[in-house]
Structure 1
Amino acid sequence: MATAPIVPDRHPPATRGWYKRNEIALTPWLFLAPAMLFFAVYVIVPIGQSFWISFHEWDGLGEKTWVGMANYDRLLGIGEQNIDRKFEVSFWNNLRWLILYLLAIPLGLFIALFLNQTVTGIRLYKSLFFFPFVISQVVVGLVFSWFYLPREGLLNAILGLVGAGPINVLGDPDMATYGIIAAGLWPQTAYCMILYLTGLNSVDPEQVEAARLDGAKGWRMLWYVILPQLKPATFIAFVVTIIGALRSFDLISVMTNGGPFGSTRVLSFYMFEESLSEFGFRMGYGAAIAVVLFFIMLFFIAYFLWSMYRDERGAR
Structure 2
Amino acid sequence: MQDFWKQNQQKIAPWLFLAPGIIMFLLYVIYPIIGSFQISFYDWDGLGQKEWVGVNNYIELMDDEAFYTSLKNNVIWLVLYMLAIPAGLFVALFLNQTVFGIRLYKSLFFFPFVISQVVVGLVFSWFYDPSNGLMNIALEAIGFDAIPVLADERYVTYGIIAAGLWPQTAYCMILYLTGLNAIDPEQIEAARLDNAKGWRMLWYVILPQLRPATFIAMVVTVIGALRSFDLISIMTDGGPWGSSRVLAFYMYEQAFSEYGFRMGYGAAIAVVLFLIMMVYITFFLYKMYRDERGQ
TM-score, normalised with respect to structure 2: 0.98
1:38 aligns with 2:24: yes
1:111 alignment counterpart: 91
Which of 220, 227, 233 pairs up with 1:247?
227
1:56 alignment counterpart: 42
1:71-112 deviation line (CA, Å, top 9, x unaligned): 001112xxxxxx210000000000000000000000000011
Q: How does 1:121-270 map to 2 (within 5 A)?
A: 121-270=101-250
C-alpha separation in 2, matches of 1:16 and 1:243: 46
Q: How far apart are 1:25 and its partner, in Å? A: 1.1
1:233-281 deviation line (CA, Å, top 9, x unaligned): 1001000000000011000000000000100000000000000002230
| Count of matched residue pairs | 295
Q: Which amino acid aligns with 1:234?
A: T
1:178-208 deviation line (CA, Å, top 9, x unaligned): 0000000000001101111111001111111
Identity %: 70
**Compared with structure 1, are the counterparts of its residues 20 and 183 closer, same or farther at alpha carbon in structure 2 (3 Å cutoff)?**
same
1:307 aligns with 2:287: yes
**Compared with structure 1, are the counterparts of its residues 23 and 145 closer, same or farther at alpha carbon in structure 2 (3 Å cutoff)?**
same
Q: Which amino acid aligns with 2:58?
A: Y
RMSD: 1.2
2:74 alignment counterpart: 94
SS of the equivalent of 1:170 reads helix
C-alpha separation in 1, matches of 2:252 and 2:278: 20
Residues 54 and 71 in structure 1, CA contact (< 8 A), matched pair in contact too: yes
1:271 aligns with 2:257: no
SS of the equivalent of 1:22 reads helix
Q: How far apart are 1:24 and its partner, in Å? A: 1.5
Which of 272, 282, 290 pairs up with 1:292?
272
**Rg bigger for which structure?**
1
SS of the equivalent of 2:145 reads coil
* Structure 2 residue ranges without an equivalent (≥5): none
Q: Which amino acid aligns with 2:181?
A: N
Q: Which amino acid aligns with 1:61?
A: L
C-alpha separation in 1, matches of 2:292 and 2:154: 44
Q: How far apart are 1:301 and its partner, in Å? A: 1.1
1:6 alignment counterpart: none
Q: Which amino acid aligns with 1:217?
A: K
C-alpha separation in 1, matches of 2:113 and 2:46: 36
Which of 51, 61, 65 pairs up with 2:51?
65
Q: Which amino acid aligns with 2:164?
A: G
Q: How far apart are 1:16 and its partner, in Å? A: 6.7
**Compared with structure 1, are the counterparts of its residues 225 and 278 closer, same or farther at alpha carbon in structure 2 (3 Å cutoff)?**
same
Q: How far apart are 1:50 and its partner, in Å? A: 0.4
Which of 74, 81, 84 pairs up with 2:60?
74
